[in-house]
Structure 1
């Protein structure tokens, strides 16, 4: 069958459903005509369908609502409060949320709703339940205590399948267990504490930053970190670094030397070239396309009527990856024929690919798993490093304190070790505070498998009823900023909250208020790897630079802070960069900074 764009397939599926509904109406109409030997004119049949289909849909919606109401009563539970829009199907709410997502501060549109309805509510857009919660007890149930009642779900899988396939982040049930079991052994302490890869790429990144700033230009720090983490991830996963750092850093837009493409602002033309830089840009574009689908929701195929937005980029990604995967498979086959142990990559370090090919030679399974881990290992750490450096620029006193710890524990030039990182308590607190206010994955979603309940949040409350096959979004971004959970200074950036009495007052008795890496059976496998990579890079930066300043003149004009933000309460009024979200949170059009180099 020839390839059809998602929009065409979606339209055909809608037509098929409407045809089925029309048939459901016309069959009994024709039966009654035959029974009573009457003949209705054609227009009467058309009117029966035109009015009958909406009535049939409305009757089904009412039936489901009644069933859910009765089930909630039988469980002694209350239903989630519904946010009512002014338009039919609450379509105005969808437009309001989309506008905020495109041009507002993350989660801003939800704050008034939370203040009015509480920490869980139902936005029923187009008569489809979409629950949203920022309550730690609810998120704990989703991720841990009632884990089997929730899954990533079919809707998420369909959106991500063209990029993530059936890898560990896009699968449920036995398929998820299979991918998780394949990957887990690789994230051993021996692997995540091996700093040679970090060292090579961190040195290259720091050298490029020094060169550019010595020439008098600001750098897009987000771009540098995206390249650093991509190079580190590709070498770590399959010993084939894409060398995205070596392709050159972008110049600020006011400069005539400004480059038109970077991970912060991709400019991608589909191609089948398999060179490393093209791979990196295609990889960015594929993720951007899936993020756009997630933002739009169920109707995303209508925005891809002419083409699948991921098809071109993924053709390039596959062209780069497949020879590497086939090489790994062939190396394993040779080892089996020779009766020995397969030899890892050229530099002698066993990679994830080397481990995976001992379990399967299915190239699709291998590609899916490699891409899933690469997205997790690259984007989340780049995001954390970007926001950490933003904090260094915003809070010079914190940078001075952090740099003093680096000088005390490591010194100005020595390469940090795992033991160094483990002993640096303020550095860990600084990273945790970055992840609290700017979590890499600020919003997430699950689908309920069967009807269930969330636990009551106080002795006087009732359980909250969750219907079957319902989408539940949750936000650690908003939960991490709740003053009732973190104290009156929750919106302030203060690493000491993870070291002083506030730790024992707020976090220790309720650990589910801090979830930068998720929790439960699906907790991030690479959590310690991410901490180590982030710590290593920050130490290298603080050994090389003793001051960071935001260079807003280099920031593209369409990514500067709107003046209207200055009157909004909370952090939004003091931010000096524009945070946006695709699969992860990022700085819109980059984070342009200058740094003062240390003369060691």
Structure 2
């Protein structure tokens, strides 16, 4: 018996030793090849973010502390300001990079597009998003994108018909809240905007709105579940290789509610379309295939028009500038990441002068943050971290009332910003909708949707202020909810006055 055990152990040892030796040799060969690649391309390391504990555990601790205090994006921005616009760091023994250099971002998203993938994103997010376009790559992604591209032609929504119904429902919700004497005329717009977006999107993609602004509890539960699921997805990204430890029953329940709600949408729309097969609209291929200045400009530009269209909205130039500035400081997706599928390099950020190429080995992650990129003073001026409140006409500062920021001229986007100094920074220094082949198909739709909402709300309620005693803090210092997107942690509370 003992001899048999001894023989088995010897066999295992003789099999294991060559295997280990082979792995060590393979890693050595890969290491030498990577070093030769870096040398041939003149690569030098970028500044490293200091880590004082073994495996960079202190960095992970700081990340989770910042997240718990609702200041995660400001923490990431502070790391770049202190160490450089391209840095490397080690977290739980995982070596990765962060960059907000336009040249590097252009390389990630366009120039060397084929050198990078989403890495583990599909696995991380499968529970919520399944095999959808947001996690697809290669031929599958190209097929889905071509399927959606015709749908997002502005001619398909230029008459604003998909927005009008949901907007009437949103205004009705505001009015209903104001009639409640306990509301003190205060309305939290954030959940209403979420449902407005849900209703306009389903109307546009499916041909019928789910009317979540009317449905009450179901929409609220869906919103809560979706936010819970997104929060778990974000946590998974933060712990990298240990993402499987994040989730459990709470995530499964949230994803099930999201999927059930989505399935119900599809079922309702199928029933609706089945009832009107004879006059079916070919546009719905997606379903078949699977303050003052603004009010003044609105009155001046859109006066007498009972029905608006996309071109009308685009004529209110100041409104476009306000939306661009909002997206500059609060891009919907504040942080993104790519993983190298082969050893490659970033074009700049390394060496003492931080201008040399940077070696990126196969499997290493490179993150880039539009949130931080859009706060660079060398692109946007010394007040880059401020939501510009000056008046061109008087030079006076606007009082700190959120919606009163809309009552003065807004010069930043009419200036000769350093951002516009060359095509590289102009194209890759402002990325509210990503860039390159994967630039957001719905960016014009989103801008039109937001512009229409602002116009219609201000037409109905031209006088809005913050609630009394509402805390006002410096831009970027407010509490931020970071899931896969960014949103105010404490909502968007506004006092409405319908007196003209």
Interval of TM-score (by shorter of Structure 1 and Structure 2) = 0.7 to 0.9
Compute the TM-score of the two structures, normalised by the length of structure 1. 0.69
* Partner residue, 2:392: none
- Other structure's SS at 1:168 match: coil
The alignment status of 1:231 with 2:199, answered yes or no, reads yes
User: Deviations 1:351-373 (Å, cap 9, x if unpaired)?
Assistant: 54xx13554xxxxxx3xxxxxxx
* Partner residue, 1:463: 357
Distance in 2, matches of 1:598 and 1:122, equals 55
1:516 aligns with one of 407, 414, 432? 432
Q: Is the 8 A contact 1:483 1:489 kept in 2?
A: yes
Q: Is the 8 A contact 2:302 2:312 kept in 1?
A: yes
Counterparts in 2 of 1:315-326, with a 5 A limit?
Answer: 315-322=256-263, 325=266
The alignment status of 1:293 with 2:232, answered yes or no, reads no
Deviation at 1:287, TM superposition (A): 2.8
Q: Is the 8 A contact 2:379 2:418 kept in 1?
A: no
User: Deviations 1:200-237 (Å, cap 9, x if unpaired)?
Assistant: 11122122213323432411111111111112222222
Distance in 2, matches of 1:333 and 1:519, equals 38
Deviation at 1:65, TM superposition (A): 5.8
Distance in 2, matches of 1:504 and 1:126, equals 36
1:419 aligns with one of 311, 321, 330? 311
- Deviation larger for 491-500 or 455-464: 455-464
The alignment status of 1:94 with 2:60, answered yes or no, reads yes
1:200 aligns with one of 154, 165, 188? 165
Q: Is the 8 A contact 2:419 2:429 kept in 1?
A: no
What count of residue pairs does the alignment treat as equivalent?
464
User: Deviations 1:298-355 (Å, cap 9, x if unpaired)?
Assistant: 3232233x53x432233333334436546777999999xxxxx8753xxxx5554xx1
* Partner residue, 1:585: 486
User: Deviations 1:255-274 (Å, cap 9, x if unpaired)?
Assistant: xxxxxx8xxxxxxxxxxxxx
Stretches of structure 2 lacking an aligned partner (at least 5 in a row): 1-8, 389-409
- Other structure's SS at 1:209 match: helix
Cα distance change, pair 460–314 in 1 and its aligned pair in 2 (3 A): closer
Distance in 1, matches of 2:213 and 2:354, equals 57
Cα distance change, pair 29–503 in 1 and its aligned pair in 2 (3 A): closer
Cα distance change, pair 125–342 in 1 and its aligned pair in 2 (3 A): farther
1:443 aligns with one of 322, 327, 335? 335
Deviation at 1:524, TM superposition (A): 0.3
Q: Is the 8 A contact 1:220 1:591 kept in 2?
A: yes
- Other structure's SS at 1:290 match: helix
Distance in 2, matches of 1:238 and 1:122, equals 44
User: Deviations 1:418-445 (Å, cap 9, x if unpaired)?
Assistant: 2211212111111101111111111111
Distance in 1, matches of 2:146 and 2:425, equals 29
Counterparts in 2 of 1:245-324, with a 5 A limit?
Answer: 245-248=213-216, 278-304=221-247, 306-307=248-249, 309-322=250-263
- Other structure's SS at 1:162 match: helix
Distance in 2, matches of 1:128 and 1:191, equals 46
Deviation at 1:589, TM superposition (A): 3.4
Distance in 1, matches of 2:354 and 2:53, equals 35
Cα distance change, pair 173–509 in 1 and its aligned pair in 2 (3 A): closer
- Other structure's SS at 1:472 match: strand
1:526 aligns with one of 421, 425, 442? 442
Distance in 1, matches of 2:134 and 2:123, equals 13
The alignment status of 1:170 with 2:135, answered yes or no, reads yes
Stretches of structure 1 lacking an aligned partner (at least 5 in a row): 1-25, 33-47, 249-260, 262-274, 336-340, 360-365, 367-398
Deviation at 1:551, TM superposition (A): 2.6
Distance in 2, matches of 1:244 and 1:343, equals 25
Cα distance change, pair 443–430 in 1 and its aligned pair in 2 (3 A): same
The alignment status of 1:594 with 2:488, answered yes or no, reads no
* Partner residue, 1:356: 286
1:117 aligns with one of 68, 75, 83? 83
Distance in 2, matches of 1:450 and 1:579, equals 35
Distance in 2, matches of 1:454 and 1:82, equals 15
Deviation at 1:60, TM superposition (A): 9.0
Deviation at 1:28, TM superposition (A): 8.3
Cα distance change, pair 329–412 in 1 and its aligned pair in 2 (3 A): closer
The alignment status of 1:477 with 2:407, answered yes or no, reads no
Cα distance change, pair 482–202 in 1 and its aligned pair in 2 (3 A): same
Q: Is the 8 A contact 2:337 2:367 kept in 1?
A: yes
* Partner residue, 2:153: 188
2:412 aligns with one of 490, 497, 507? 497
Cα distance change, pair 209–358 in 1 and its aligned pair in 2 (3 A): closer
* Partner residue, 1:395: none
- Deviation larger for 425-434 or 587-596: 587-596
Cα distance change, pair 150–594 in 1 and its aligned pair in 2 (3 A): same
Cα distance change, pair 83–64 in 1 and its aligned pair in 2 (3 A): farther
Cα distance change, pair 246–195 in 1 and its aligned pair in 2 (3 A): same
Cα distance change, pair 86–405 in 1 and its aligned pair in 2 (3 A): same
Cα distance change, pair 316–171 in 1 and its aligned pair in 2 (3 A): same
Deviation at 1:400, TM superposition (A): 1.9
Distance in 1, matches of 2:256 and 2:419, equals 51
Deviation at 1:61, TM superposition (A): 8.1
Distance in 1, matches of 2:25 and 2:370, equals 37
Distance in 2, matches of 1:457 and 1:89, equals 24
Greater relative contact order structure (CA < 8 Å, 6+ sep): 2
Q: Is the 8 A contact 2:206 2:287 kept in 1?
A: no
Deviation at 1:571, TM superposition (A): 3.6
Cα distance change, pair 314–108 in 1 and its aligned pair in 2 (3 A): closer
Cα distance change, pair 324–426 in 1 and its aligned pair in 2 (3 A): closer
Distance in 1, matches of 2:135 and 2:66, equals 27
Distance in 1, matches of 2:65 and 2:252, equals 27
* Partner residue, 2:49: 83
Q: Is the 8 A contact 2:185 2:496 kept in 1?
A: no
Compute the TM-score of the two structures, normalised by the length of structure 2. 0.82
- Other structure's SS at 1:465 match: strand
